[in-house]
Structure 1
């Protein structure tokens, strides 16, 4: 590009460039009024490693009338090639570029037409087919340069895409500068395979970054690892780019620049066979902009980041090393495979993996880097030393697993046993000859290991019958037993035993049975246990009756079971173990509601003054067991309106503050909750008066309700 001076000095290519200044009209000497932009050079700030900017100067780069600061606003071109073995002819690309609303990035919107339906869903994730466009037009942050500023939009870009599922796609981009209307001209050739997707699958492209590295004059290398999600499942894939351009255009102001891609959307229209992309792009200096990334080494002549040949420097592989841009990979000879560390080669067991060509009558034997096929011998035989024949295995000599005797046969073996034993598998077990009636009827047979003995005498508890056999003696029936009269004699073959009835325990043969005191067990009865001979009885305190299980006590509800009548102005209060008639009169001008027993005031309609006084008087009775812990909720009080609906705005308070009463009150969900403040360890009846104030939406009191609460604590914990 020809650079003309416009009233200022030029800045060296390797100077440290400052930010772009505003666009201005230049004089006729600069090319007939063409738009120019000036970038000031800061002096004496160094660039990278000791390359100072010489003098206060500037560089002027020419821009067509239609081009905007930061790159062209449009791009167009063609795409040809084959994807997944499908030739799709020529597809056409049209792109518009605008600034984002917050001016922190540029928005690239692209549409590709003539995309076959068989490829459209799969290409939704191929957003980097636009990488030359968004690199050329990306928003420049700080002193970073995009592709347009660096190359005047004339470059070649070679891209390789590798999916985690194994597919590889190669893309070639040729950028041919701007046409007469200021649009970027781009030719794209694709070849390879991509991960196929279902037409209705939901594709979500994740934000990503690409690091652009200056690797030489007119040479860049870029790479990134990205994610896209298909129906919520993330799939990783990698990109790497090699860019070449006219080296006289200079180089990036930093060794490493980072391109940021965000807010990516993609959509395929099967009816129109069009693929649409939208992406926000900006470019800035890298995190370590003046340092070479791992896999590269610094070249001060540029300065550049040249590829480090790890294979030559580090020798990291056990066998063959292949250098790659910024990295390397190891490979192994045939028969070996790469280990998990990616560096060492290990043997492939072709036999275990089934990767051999041995016949069905052959066995596979693995060897280092290979395998060989050998003669297969049937069970009981092994290959001879010559490997060409099979010979019998003498199992009795090599692996004798028999209990007593082993007999070898051709191809097998069998086990044998001594007399008096019989085989069971490979074991020998004793034969119980006594089960075969080997002795005379007047003899007692005793089995021995491998044999038996016939004994003339009958064992204890047995006697000889008339036929000479030994029969059992029933000691319980003939009176020869020694059981006490309180014991029960039970005959057994050859003996007997003395047992005691239920509820008694034995003290030995001939000794009387002793009564068991069941009351010694703590949980026999809930209240009182009374032992009896051979049994026990449970008793309950006055006012309780014994439950059907014979152990637990239940309170007698005298008010219900005795049909207690306390009178017109009284209510029957059932307490645990007793009852009490409580005076519950309704005050003057109140009427008792027959179903609930409330005392309700007769208030004319809309009589606010009447309602502000106590509208309802309600009596509550609670009977509690002895020993209730502190902090236990006992009763919940609810205030109702005249329509018998729970009032939505009510607070509760104790009308009588007596410190001796072990209860307190709190509001909870429009209810008044009475709870214990200390353990209830005293049998006593308490009386409390509680007021409920119900408020209208204007904050004024609408109703007042008074609760008279009686709480009776029993003397027993049940």
Structure 2
């Protein structure tokens, strides 16, 4: 009977930064992986009367009685080792493949002896009385080469060496796996030979899977005097409005909100037992947040004293009634807010061509510097350039003009203004054209209503 056993060790040979598969070692001089001759390097590689035959990447254990006569060149070589169905018999000759394929005669001497046998079963099987080939259980017959620390697992025609759960194969030995090192537990882990155990931090309990942890809801025990908020692994107490948390972190005491912060209300704070309220000055109402003051627009609501001939202008904290525009001669009205002095009128020679009336509001004490108004030329003439300046009304030097382009400038508030106050500025745009020897100007008469409060 022909019996052969291939034993494969699952290890990797390091060498000069290279790794080779089992059965090979790295040759630094050749700079490649070469076959390891297990028959020479392994003591007692084969048992009993079994002879060791080295192969590329492994070895065979063959009965010495089945070794054939020296190789005969006239024997035809098979292109590949022949395996047949055991029920169909087995060829008399079992030869290795000849490099290059083909079925020619002669060639290279095989690297191991040829075997001649009349056996009808392939390696790893035995012939039964009924003529069928049955698998040899090397694990049961103790004909395997597994390490004592390993577990033998029978396979069809052979066997494999493995380790029990909780161990892995390192250098031919089964060594304990440190599951804690690889994050088997969600929180706390204790390693044990072949096993491990998980536990949880305070505020957590172990789930039925014995690995993950579940948060404990401490609020179910009502540890707080008012409200309780469960957190991941702990809890927090909170208090009703008008109370603050005591030093013990669980009880609540009354809070005087108005004394706690002067910025609690935008205008004035009134404390109440367990609460507070904000009050706004006339012309404002308390906003939805209960703290801010919002301007009450008397012009939109109709809560004003303006006549039908007047125009209602709203500003922060109040309003004013604007009378209809009346242009002083030699100016004539060209629109609801613009007066013009015609160049054909000799009386207009030294006056601005147009006066445009504009109104705006400004909060008292507004932070500076602040851009508050934009002025720009609406008509451009070839060869002309423009000069922007404050002609009148800037007695306190609170404003200045900053030219932003060839045709535009910005009015800048440079000093805070306290209200209530009304400021009228004449912003002049001078047009100069040296080609046609022209110089003219236009004025925006800007009325600024400064509120009493900074909101």
TM-score (norm 2): 0.48
Which of 1 and 2 has higher RCO (CA within 8 Å, sep 6+)? Answer: 2
